[in-house]
Structure 1
């Protein structure tokens, strides 16, 4: 969202400078300073030595008693008490490669279908490729169900 806003601002400024009246031709335009890089917007890299993944995943009321509980997930190499550590780490690595943060909450004004996906709830805390994580998940509506499903197998498939 912030990246989109920044790009819109830069594009607007570029449009204004090309449409400037001839009177401004006397005054040369100064180059813009570089835009600040925001930490949560930066692309992560698997080669980053500080890019450690250590997560605590707590799941309740998933409909699968063996999936409920608290699990530790460690990546590089995959390990911990998470039942599908390797698959979960692979999914998180794919997210890094695509530049998408799977822990970003649903936008506040998002239009979501009003379907209920059950009482399942989860919390993921720790570090993902060097970035702090404290995310909550539910299946309260279509957006949250999709968000949960996109994080399977880090989160269990809810029944």
Structure 2
């Protein structure tokens, strides 16, 4: 019987490009981790908190499954936008986080530690 290596559940390499406003400054952060531990090469302000947030929410935060339509409050949280690319558990990630409605604000807040703690990163205006 062949022993196949299991994918590292903590393997993460993400690049986060955060813009506070469409014409404002952009911030780029990285999160790198292996075996559930953040790498010193990470540039997010608190790499372990960012990794914990990503692992807590798992693949569903990056790869939502189709389902029934969600009801989201129609509120605007601000112009901030974050584009997250890279790999999570060996799968390619390319997702955009915004503050355009209640569902997106919740998603943003769930990943706030990944967004670097710049103005607006907590999803508040």
Whether TM exceeds 0.5 here: the answer is yes
Aligned to 1:70: 28
For the 8 Å contact 2:77–2:100, the answer to whether it is kept is yes
Shift of 1:104: 3.4
Higher relative contact order (CA 8 A, sep 6+): 2
Q: Whose strand fraction is larger, Structure 1's or Structure 2's?
A: 2
Q: Whose helix fraction is larger, Structure 1's or Structure 2's?
A: 1
Aligned to 2:51: 89
Distance 1:61 1:120 in 2: 4
- For structure 2, which runs of at least 5 residues remain unmatched after alignment? 1-5, 116-120
| Residues 101-146 of structure 1, C-alpha deviations (whole Å, 9 max, x = no match) | 2113596943211111010101000001211100001001111111
- For structure 1, which runs of at least 5 residues remain unmatched after alignment? 1-46
TM-score (norm 2): 0.71
Aligned to 1:104: 63
Give the length in aligned residue pairs: 107
Q: Which entry has the higher C-alpha Rg, 1 or 2?
A: 1
